Each structure stands twice: as C-alpha cells, then as structure tokens.
Amino acid sequence: MWQNGVKTVIDSPAKDAQAAMGCGKWPLAAVASFIALIHVAWWFVGDTIVVNGNLFDGDSYARLVRVERLVETGGWFDSSLPRANAPFGGSLHWTRPFDVMLIALAMPLEPLLGFKQALFWSGAMISPLLHVLVAMATLWASLPLLGRAGAAIAGALTAAQFGILGYATVGHADHHMLFALLAVGAFGFTVRALLAAENGGRPAFWAGVVLAAGFWVGTEAQVTIALCVLAAGLAWVAGVPESPRTNQRLALGLALGVALALFAERGPAGYLDVQYDRLSIVHLTSVVLLLAFWSGVAAFAGRGEDRPGSPGARLGVRLGAGVLGAAAVVGVTWVLFPEVLVGPIDQYDPELRAIHATVPEFAPIADVPHFLILLGTVVFAAPWAAWRLREAWPHPKFWAWFLFAAALAVYMAFAVSWVRWSLYAGLVLSVFLADLMVAADAAIDRRFVLPRRLLVKIAAMLILAAGPLVAGVAGVRGGTSASATAPEDTVSVAGDPRPCPLQAMSRQLNAPPWDARPRTILASANFGAELLYRTPHKVLGTFHHPNTPGILDSVRILGGAEESATLALIRKRKIDLILICLHSGRAGYIKGRDDEGILYRRLEDGNLPGWLREIEVPGNLGRAFRLFEVAPASGSWNR
C-alpha cells in the first residue's frame, strides 16, 4: 500500500515470504547481467592489473601461494608458509573455504592452462563472480522490505558503491566478497525470521548457519553476527511474540555450524587449540554460551506474562535479563580466554599497529573527497533510515529495518577509521538508497507529468546514486591539481608497467646465478608475498600479522643505523640478497625515519657497508630496483 507517496509496511509476512521465494527469474537475471556487464566493461577499459599478468595486492599472491601449497602437499590442516619469515617459517590465519572455491574454479581451466595459470585466472576472476552473487543475494535479502522493483534496484546499486567495487574488480584473489555474500545471506534470513513471527524458527536457524559459515571464513564476521543477534534479541526485549524461539533457533544454527566448521577446519587433533584470529574453541565456546542463554529464555518464555504488572515492568525485566545474559556470555568467555577482547594485531606486537596503518585498507578515510567517493550516499541513506524506523514502529517490519539501520551505523563507524569496512557499509547503503529511489519515483509520478516527469526522474536518480561520488571525484582531482608536483622518474618494463615492476624483477631473480638455489631476500613486506609466488626464494616479511617477527626484523634491518646490530640481524636471518625499489611509496614505514644513516637511505645513496655489494640490474629495470648481495659470514662472495 502507498501512503503519502511512500510504500507502507502493512503487507503480511506470509505474502512477503511467498514473494521472496517466488520472485521470478527475470529480476535475478537482470541484476546478474548488469553486474557482469559492469565488470566486463571495467576489464576492457579500466583494468591495468590483470591485463599485465598481475594481481591486486600481496594478499592475493599470498592466497595463491597458500593454495598451491595445499595442492602440492595435501596438508589440509597445515597453515604454514615455510618460505616466509625466513629462516624460521611463517603462517597465515586464513581458513579453507575460500581456498576450496579457488581450486574448484581453477579445475575446469587446468587441462588447458596448467594448474598455476589456471589458479591465477581463478584468483583474477573470483571476486567479480562473487559480486554477481552478492548482487543477487542483496535482491533476495531486501525483497520482503522493498518489493520486487526496489530489491532489483538494491542489487544493481551494489555496482555503484566504490566501497564494494574496491574489492570486487578483477585481480582480487581475496575473500572479501565472500564475506559480503555471507553477510547479505545472513541478513536475508534474519529479516525473514523477524517478519515471520510464529514461523520464524526455520529462517532463524538458517541465519545462524550462514553466520557460522562467515565465522569459518574469518573472525571479522563477528560484527555481522553481533548485528543479527542484537536485532533478534531486542525484538524479544520489546515483547515480539515467539521471539525467544526465534533467538534460540538462530543460536542453535550458529552453534551447530561453528562446531562443524571447527571440525572441518582443524580436525580432531586441533579441535581444542586456542587461537583468537582464526576459528577455534574460543569462538565455539562463545556461541555455545549464547545458545545456553537463549535456551533458558525459551524454556521460561511466557511464564509470568499473565501476572499483574505493567508492560513496561515486564519490558524492564527482559531488558535486564538480556544485559545480564550478554555480560555472562562475554564474561565467561573472557575468563576462559583472557585475550579474547584484545585485537589480533595487538596480540602479536603493538608495534605492528603503526606499520599496518601504512596499508590503505587498514587506514582511516583520508579526507572529505574520499569519504564522498566511498560512503557519500550516506547523506541520503541515513535520514531515510531514520524515517523508515519511525514509520515502521510498531509493526514487525520495524525490527527488520532496525537490523539494516544498525548495520549502517556500525559499518559506517568502522569504515571511517578502517577503510576495508566500506565494503559492508556499501551493501547496506544500497538497500536504503533503493528504498528511497522507489519512494522518490512515486512522489515524482504524482507531482509531474510527461515529459518533465522523465527529466526530473533521471536527474533525481542520478543524484541519489552518484551525486556524492561525482563531488568526491571532483574534490580529489581538484586537490591533486592544486598540489601537483613533478612526476617521479618511474619506468615501464614490458609486461609490468607498475612503478615497482616486481613481475619483471622476479624474472631476473629466477635467472642465473640466482636460480641455482633458493635465496633469502630482504625486501619491503609489501613485496614479500609476490616474491613467494613468482620465485622459489625465501623472504622475511609478508604483510600478515602472524608473520610479525619477519616484518619487524625487516624494519629493524632496513631502518637500522647501528651497523653491528644490523649485521647481527642479517646473520641471524641468513639473508642473501637485499632488494629495494626506488619508487616504492608504500615503503614509507621504513623510509620515513628521520635518521639519514639508516641502511635504507644508505642503499638509496650508494653508501654501502663493506659486507654488501651492489648487483647490476639490467636495462630499465635498474631504474626501478637496486639489488645487493650480502657477504657470507666466511667473507667470500661465492654464489
């Protein structure tokens, strides 16, 4: 029903559920085709990464190295990276679901390309393919609230959110879009559970299962879990009928899913291992405690509701019980596992936090123009979300809208200080913008006649979808032109046009004399994973917190000014080669030190200590890289 130009929320949950299950194939096909078209167009017009045989970042290369090792060794429960953190070996905190997806996507290509190339193309293409699924899942998740047209718009709008596109384009062999898919799926099931009242048990259970799958992929899914549990829990506090059973089923699906995922990930031998940044008994304990709480609530549901007392008093009792229950879950988990409330980076070494801040996805949003590019549509979505909540109360749809509104607030707060969360914020922004567009479309229909109606609609929809983005791009370009400086003396090497053409440099490291045996290379941690992927050599640092010792020793060596201490670390790490890129803007965490006598500055200036000698790097590649060989402890320069 429409009221004052806005779709009201009085449709029956049964009708919504029926529509959700039978929305027809054409909206899904249309949204999938639109997203695919966007990515194909980007690949042909905008891509400068995959077309040159590269992947987006170190995480992508590290993922392929991990999968190659799984295929070579069959060690499902082995998360080690023996050639990282040399000579001691490193590890990764990732889990197996995304690895399996990469292998499955590579298998059809292997007979034509060989496994390594098939895996490369699997990694290059998996994020755009997952984006297609994310858009279709967004349509499905929002359908009970937005209707068919609005839900289709929501799915399509995921291609207009740069927070999403930043992880979805070709070349991202990383699990971010899988996180997005599972988050949207969990929201969709939770929405149906909140709307279904007495029939909410089944979608709630599946919401828990999907949340468990997200937990298996990575512990950042805890934020999405908390949002779904919060919305369902507050519905119980408000007195929504059957909500204790709904919450119990959600917790049951979550606990069973985590228990099974933990067994699949770690096996019987590792089931009780304690690890905070990867699915472990720590997380199973917390969700079992959650299940115990909601089982108790369900067992006592309805008791005392008919006793004398105001509804407000009963609401207060439920609120108090909910707060105590949440405190008990967190408190018992904390007592059993004291570091559960410490961030994963701080669990390794707090010094790593400053280094991680130099990585763009872990940094805050830089300025207002970049905020507008990534999250600017919140200027439309946030007021509309507040209006939606006011209009929906006290109908059951209020809690479904509350879930999305809470997600918007939480993801936005995280994204401002940590760019990677803009992916999640973009998903929720798409839903609210689609709802606003449908309402705006109806309002324009009532107020204007053709042909003006069409012009007004086009202008309004473009402003809503892309207005802040255009303003942000203009701001970035204006700031760049105002502060433009002379371009760096960068190079272009055939097949690798990056300022630091590591693909081309790897070919040199794979040629004589360096191919005679694996060497240990000291380079920026930004280069570590790609060197592991492209060469047989070892490295100290990769930008992954389980390899913190290698990262910190890299910084201590390259940023060291005391020659004897630096050489002692080099001997300890058995380093053979040192590689620096003269155009590496992301090595600022090393070069940014004030002391002109640090080793990195001396390497740049050619002021070498006696235990180093420079190796000529041929052609244009030598304008980008400088390579140095460390004298062995014996003092001879045998290769």
234: confidence class by pLDDT, cuts 50, 70, 90: very high
Instruction: Provide the 3-class DSSP secondary structure of residue 230.
Output: helix
Neighbour count for residue 24 (Cβ, 10 Å)? 9
Q: Return the pLDDT at 300.
A: 85
pLDDT at 585: 62
What pLDDT does residue 529 have?
96
- List pLDDT tens digits, range 353-376: 777 777 777 888 889 999 999 999
The model carries a pTM of: 0.92
What one-letter code names the amino acid at 253? Answer: G
At residue 231, what is the residue type?
A: A
Query: What is the rounded average pLDDT of the residues 272-300?
Result: 95
> With contact defined as beta carbons under 8 Å apart, do 367 and 466 qualify?
no
pLDDT at residue number 2: 35
- List of residues 6+ apart from 38 with CB closer than 8 A: 159
- pLDDT recorded at residue 391: 92
**pLDDT tens sequence across 418-467:** 999 999 999 999 999 999 999 999 999 999 888 898 999 999 999 999 99
Strands 577-581 and 2-3: unpaired
What is the pLDDT confidence band of residue 135, given thresholds at 50, 70 and 90?
Answer: very high
d(CA 282, CA 274): 6
Q: What is the pLDDT of residue 639?
A: 57
Peptide bond just before 549 cis, omega within 30 deg? no
Amino acid at 474: A
The pLDDT assigned to 587 comes to 57
Return the residue matching tokens 């890289």: 625
Q: How far apart are CA 602 and CA 596, in angstroms?
A: 8
Helices (H), 267-377: 281-299, 311-336, 344-348, 351-356, 368-375
| Domain ranges, ordered by start, for the chain | 18-47+93-302+311-441, 502-630
Res. 10 pLDDT band, cuts 50 70 90? very low
**Taking a C-beta distance cutoff of 8 angstroms, is the pair 524, 551 a contact?**
no
Asked if pLDDT for residue 205 goes beyond 80, the answer is: yes
When pLDDT is averaged across residues 155-180 and rounded to a whole number, the result is: 96
Q: Residue 17: pLDDT above 70?
A: no
Residue-wise pLDDT for 293-317, tens only, equals 999 999 887 665 555 556 666 788 8
Measured between alpha carbons, how far is 602 from 570 in angstroms, rounded to an integer?
16
* pLDDT above 50 (res 140): yes
Cβ contacts of 195 within 8 Å, gap of 6 or more: 13, 16, 17, 144, 396, 397, 400
- List CB contacts of 584: < 8 A, sequence separation 6 or more: 499, 500, 524, 526
Higher pLDDT, residue 379 or 360: 379
Q: 153 near 31, Cβ under 8 Å?
A: no
Neighbour-count burial for 398-431, b at 16+ CB within 10 Å, e otherwise:
bbbbbbbbbbbbbbbebbbebbbbbbbbbbbbbb
- Which of 1.20.120, 1.10.3470, 3.30.70, 3.40.50 would CATH assign to domain 502-630? 3.40.50
Residue-wise pLDDT tens digits, 63-78: 999 999 999 999 999 9
